[in-house]
Amino acid sequence: MHRLLRTGRRLGPFFLLAILFLLASCAPATTSGVIAVVDSATTVTPIARPPVVATGLPPTATTAPTSLPTGSSTPTAAPPTMIPTATITPSPTPDRNTLCSQRIPDNSLLTIVTLTYGLSRDYEPAGLVELSGYLPIDVTLGYPTQLRRVAVTPLVDMITDMQAAGLQPSIISGYRSYSAQAIARQKWLEKEPERANILSAPPGFSEHQLGTVVDFGSPELPEIVGQEDIEFHTYFYKTSEGVWLLENAHKYGFTLSYPFEAFDITGFFYEPWHFRYVGVEMAAHLHEQGISLTEHQLATEPPPCIPDPE
Ligand SMILES: [Zn+2]
């Protein structure tokens, strides 16, 4: 080193500059990675997701790691603990840097909707159909209920099998637009203020806006609860229909969105009547793992949007 510096002195300042340049370019690559993390933390909400330091990706890319082919560009990154198969990998949301109040998701069956990650008031899913064209009135109860076409055949198959087993499921609610959700919320606030938070989400934060969710009813519920006009009650889990759905809905691609034990994760109270169509493969996966879709999504996907300031 001493000789090197002496030679450097002979060669002048250009040599020293060259040495400095060489030293700088040998600095650990993670330095830029750390900067990227700090940058991205200012633009996205922190949530459990794969470490971004090792990827060396620019900040914008760190917001959508799950859409990248696994392992192809991140040889040093640890593999995710739960690897979804290709068919249950959610399709990438176009822009995760949107405010949630402006989020218009694509038509994926796996759009995240929680009390944190809401939907735009302008979002309306594609392919809504009227259920009365597919199910008898003793199931639809004469309500004008809509659902996305993709979920209708599995629903009809499931209800047909339930009826064959001697059950009498009804459908109390399906798609709800943002404004319909606002009306429903208001109704519950007036009718049962102490249960409004249990019975409805604020507009924009309901999975019903996705058009793939069904609220089921049972003729046994009034007697079990001891109230004639009851539509929704936790005791739905005690009804024959509730028991059957919990055991079998996944075979038709439906999953219970808000299980009893998942309140801390979903932010929703237990809703044993509320089932969401996610496709057979994902529903079976969730059933096998004993987790809710929200739990799965928050563990494996980056935030879908930026929560609006209060
Ligand atoms: Zn519901």
25 has pLDDT over 60:
no
**Cα-Cα-Cα-Cα dihedral of 234, 236, 242, 247, to 10°?**
20
Q: How far is the CA of 40 from the centre of ligand 1 (A)?
A: 35
Q: How far is the CA of 257 from the centre of ligand 1 (A)?
A: 9
Q: Tens digit of pLDDT for each residue in 245-268?
A: 999 999 999 999 999 988 888 888
Q: How far is the CA of 37 from the centre of ligand 1 (A)?
A: 37
Q: How far is the CA of 213 from the centre of ligand 1 (A)?
A: 7
pTM tops 0.85: no
Asked whether the beta carbons of 255 and 278 are under 8 A apart, the reply is yes
200 has pLDDT over 70:
yes
32 has pLDDT over 50:
no
Q: How far is the CA of 94 from the centre of ligand 1 (A)?
A: 27
What's the mean per-residue pLDDT of the chain?
77
Q: How far is the CA of 272 from the centre of ligand 1 (A)?
A: 9
Q: How far is the CA of 79 from the centre of ligand 1 (A)?
A: 35
Q: How far is the CA of 38 from the centre of ligand 1 (A)?
A: 38
Could you tell me the two tokens for 32?
């830029």
- Tell me the average pLDDT across 169-194: 93
Q: How confident is the model at residue 143 (pLDDT cuts 50, 70, 90)?
A: very high
Q: Crossing angle of helices 13-25/2-11, nearest 10°?
A: 130
Q: Crossing angle of helices 240-248/149-164, nearest 10°?
A: 120
Q: How far is the CA of 56 from the centre of ligand 1 (A)?
A: 42
Q: How far is the CA of 20 from the centre of ligand 1 (A)?
A: 64
Q: How far is the CA of 275 from the centre of ligand 1 (A)?
A: 7
